[in-house]
Amino acid sequence: MGAGLSKRRRGWLGWAWRLGALVVLWLLGVAAWIVWIGERDQAAPADAIIVLGAAAYDAKPSPVFEERIRHGLDLYQRGYAPVLIFTGGFGGTRARFSESQVARRYALHHGVPAEAILIETVSRTTRQNLQQARTLMRERDMHTVIIVSDPLHMARALRLSRQLGIDALASSTPSTRFRSFHTSWRFLLQEVYFFHRDLFVSAV
């Protein structure tokens, strides 16, 4: 009897190890896919460039947001699209400027004409960034866009764009402020979590 229980226990442990190994391999695969998506640059002629919001400190963009804005300006100046769409609402009740307003000020300071800039000031999440940008696009009969964000954020941005019916190409920032090993891994783990959360949400 004892030998039978021990054998069954070993069998269950073997299955548990195999299941654990499969879960680890799956998570590593998702992480590798996120990294791969972020390393591609699909920039091509489009109707607009959407720069996804990030933190701003009063009238100044955070280092992460500045990298996104600068890359959006570079794409605009290279002629990929005639319009920049800056997204991002107010970071708090005491904020004087929304993220998109901060980005607009930055772009104007760097020579982009006001008529080439569109903003929305209400979004607080990536999904809301894209929903508000989609509204601006529809009002102006725009169809194709280039999404600008950080490399590790790009897979989620493209996935949400598809869900929202936005015809989007990816152009990640060539450099990122998430440079340290610790910060990069935290950001990557966060994106792996969001990947599975979005799968669950879309399934229910």
pLDDT classification of 81: cutoffs 50, 70, 90 = very high
pLDDT in the model for residue 111: 97
pTM, full prediction: 0.82
CA-CA distance, 112 to 128, in Å (whole number)?
A: 25
Average predicted confidence (pLDDT) for the chain: 86
pLDDT in the model for residue 103: 98
Range 178-196 average pLDDT: 65
pLDDT classification of 195: cutoffs 50, 70, 90 = confident
pLDDT in the model for residue 181: 46
pLDDT in the model for residue 174: 87
Higher pLDDT, 50 or 4: 50
Range 72-90 average pLDDT: 97
Q: Closest Cα to residue 58, out of 101, 88, 87, 108?
A: 101
Q: Closest Cα to residue 98, out of 87, 109, 108?
A: 87
Range 50-62 average pLDDT: 94
CA-CA distance, 80 to 70, in Å (whole number)?
A: 14
Residue 182 pLDDT more than 60? no
Task: Give the chain's domains with CATH numbers.
Answer: 38-203 (3.40.50.620)
Higher pLDDT, 72 or 179: 72
Range 137-153 average pLDDT: 96
Range 92-120 average pLDDT: 94
Are residues 120 and 145 in contact, defined by beta-carbon separation less than 8 angstroms? no
Residue 110 pLDDT more than 80? yes
pLDDT in the model for residue 203: 44
Higher pLDDT, 186 or 204: 186
